[in-house]
Amino acid sequence: MRKFFQEIKADLKFKTAGPGQKLSEPSRVPKEKPKAEAAPKPRQGPTDEAQMAAAAALARMELKPKAKPPSSQEAIKNQVRKELMAEAAASEKRLSVEEEDLASLDQEGAAAPSVSGVYFICPLTGAVVRKDKKEKHIREAIQSYFSVDPVAASIMEIHTFNKDREKVRVGVETMAKYLDNIYLHPEEEKYRKIKLQNKVFQERISCLEGIHRFFQAIGFETKALPVPGQGKKFKKTTEEYYVLKEEMLTKLEDLKDYKEQLLSSEPVRAQLDRQLCVFKPSPEAARFELPSDFYNLTAEEIKREQRLRTEAVEKASMLRTRAMREKEEQREMRKYNYTLVRVRFPDGYILQGTFYARESVSVLYNFVREALRDDWLPFELLGPGGLKLTDENLAFNECGLVPSALLTLAWDAAVMADIQASGEEQPASPLKPELLSRVQTL
């Protein structure tokens, strides 16, 4: 391009006009007399406008500073920023899980996920629901339980839907004092009335979800009572109160039971479904394709991830000790909530389950033991590189077993030698028959 402009500049042959003068016509190349062989027709010179535009473009090119190539750290930071922006956009515009599954099926050559997602078991209905449907299902189950036991259902609401556990504790203890006063002093009318605008009631109790349904369920009703000491000249002559119904005075033991239920109850928590699977021996055992449920990042987690990645870029050129590297690895592991673990048996069969990343390895040992025909058989679990998982109190993320891991089961050699020496016929597989009946292929 530059050569082209230089050629045009070389062809510029026009006079510079003075003030008020017109530019002279560009000079033409004189035609030569024809010779024996006709010479090619000379190229016509550019117009005035083309000449001026070309000169201006060439000047701009000469004056434009050359961009410096970005440094490696700048390139890394830009890439990190792009990735995080893409993650944030994906989280904001995330499709429903079903739509994502359908979209993934449309992608040519896309590998099927090892599990379709993270699932939970509702303790009230026994239904297995996906992670993103869990909270809605529990809320609907508690609402349905009001027709069975309104007191128990309202207590579930209080403990489950109020996430600030300290506020719940303070509110529940305050309500227990109200009920204690009624139980211990049933003849005192003042204890059977609770003013709704009372500062303590407003700050500690009224702010809790489910609290008003609880009072209604245990026998309180809302009444407007006269304000003590107020005359007719005051506009506000009544205030709202919770008043215990008269018939509840004959059921004081029930009130005591309600108080104990309120104090001893826990939030309704869905149990993680292990999604236990058994696979035939397969060379694909070490290959994992995890769905987004295993490592979804919230907006806050994305911000944290951005900060951590930026720090990692800044430290890339620093000399780090082994302790520093291990600390960073542990921090990296903490961003996963779940892990998919496979245990390969000596006969090649593979047992698979889903676990919380912060659960202890002892849970995995129990999971394997419950799948065995003979749960008394001693065994060890070996991690990558043959490392024995001896400390069962460590969490999966502390052992580097997230977001997925393939472990190997090894029997106790002495015990297996004794079994073989006994001459008893051994089953083809140590796994329970009901598990082998639904074996799958990876």
Instruction: For residue range 331-360, list pLDDT tens digits in order.
Output: 555 578 899 999 999 999 999 999 999 999
239-258 per-position pLDDT tens digit: 999 999 999 999 999 999 99
**Cα separation of 120 and 275, whole Å?**
9
Q: Which residue has the higher pLDDT, 228 or 261?
A: 261
Residue 407: is its pLDDT beyond 80? Answer: yes
pLDDT grade for 326, boundaries at 50, 70 and 90: low
Residue 215: is its pLDDT beyond 90? Answer: yes
CATH code assigned to 337-441: 3.10.20.90
67-83 per-position pLDDT tens digit: 444 444 455 445 545 55
CATH 1.20.58.2190 for domain 121-271: yes
N- to C-terminal Cα distance for the chain? 58
Nearest to 183 by CA among 129, 133, 247, 253: 253
| HEC secondary structure over 271-309 | EECCCCEEECCCCCCCCCCCCHHHCCCCHHHHHHHHHHH
Q: What pLDDT, on the 0 to 100 scale, is given for residue 405?
A: 94
Q: What pLDDT, on the 0 to 100 scale, is given for residue 186?
A: 92
CB 119 within 8 A of CB 131: yes
Q: Which of 23-32, 194-203, 270-279 has the lowest mean pLDDT?
A: 23-32
Q: Which of 21-35, 69-83, 225-239, 296-310 has the lowest mean pLDDT?
A: 21-35
Residue 318: is its pLDDT beyond 70? Answer: no
Domain edges within the chain: 121-271, 337-441
Query: Of the ranges 74-78, 87-91, 117-121, 303-307, which is most confident?
Result: 117-121
Residue 436: is its pLDDT beyond 50? Answer: yes
H-state helical runs in 69-188? 72-92, 97-106, 134-145, 150-161, 165-184
Q: Which of 148-162, 222-236, 301-315, 332-346 has the lowest mean pLDDT?
A: 301-315
Q: Which of 88-92, 353-357, 425-429 has the lowest mean pLDDT?
A: 88-92
| HEC secondary structure over 382-415 | ECHHHCECCCCCCECHHHCCCCEEEEEEEECHHH
The rounded mean pLDDT for the chain is 78
96 to 93, 228, 270, 294, 298: CA distances (angstroms)? 10, 57, 21, 15, 16
Nearest to 415 by CA among 395, 430, 433, 428: 430
pLDDT grade for 312, boundaries at 50, 70 and 90: low
**Rounded mean pLDDT, 398-424:** 90
pLDDT grade for 147, boundaries at 50, 70 and 90: very high
Residue 27: is its pLDDT beyond 80? Answer: no
pLDDT grade for 232, boundaries at 50, 70 and 90: low
Residue 323: is its pLDDT beyond 90? Answer: no
What is the greatest pairwise CA distance in the chain? 138
**Rounded mean pLDDT, 143-152:** 94
Nearest to 210 by CA among 297, 152, 147: 152
**Cα separation of 290 and 216, whole Å?**
47
Residue 439: is its pLDDT beyond 50? Answer: yes
Nearest to 57 by CA among 10, 101, 1, 109: 1
CB 297 within 8 A of CB 367: no
Residue with tokens 């060439």: 58
pLDDT grade for 291, boundaries at 50, 70 and 90: confident
71 to 66, 79, 80, 315: CA distances (angstroms)? 15, 12, 14, 15
159-176 per-position pLDDT tens digit: 999 999 999 999 999 999
Q: In the beta sheet, which residues pair with residue 372?
A: 431
Neighbours of 268 (CB within 10 A): 19
Residue 272: is its pLDDT beyond 80? Answer: yes
Q: Which residue has the higher pLDDT, 389 or 234?
A: 389
Q: In the beta sheet, which residues pair with residue 340?
A: 354, 404
Q: What pLDDT, on the 0 to 100 scale, is given for residue 425?
A: 80
Residue with tokens 């911000």: 303
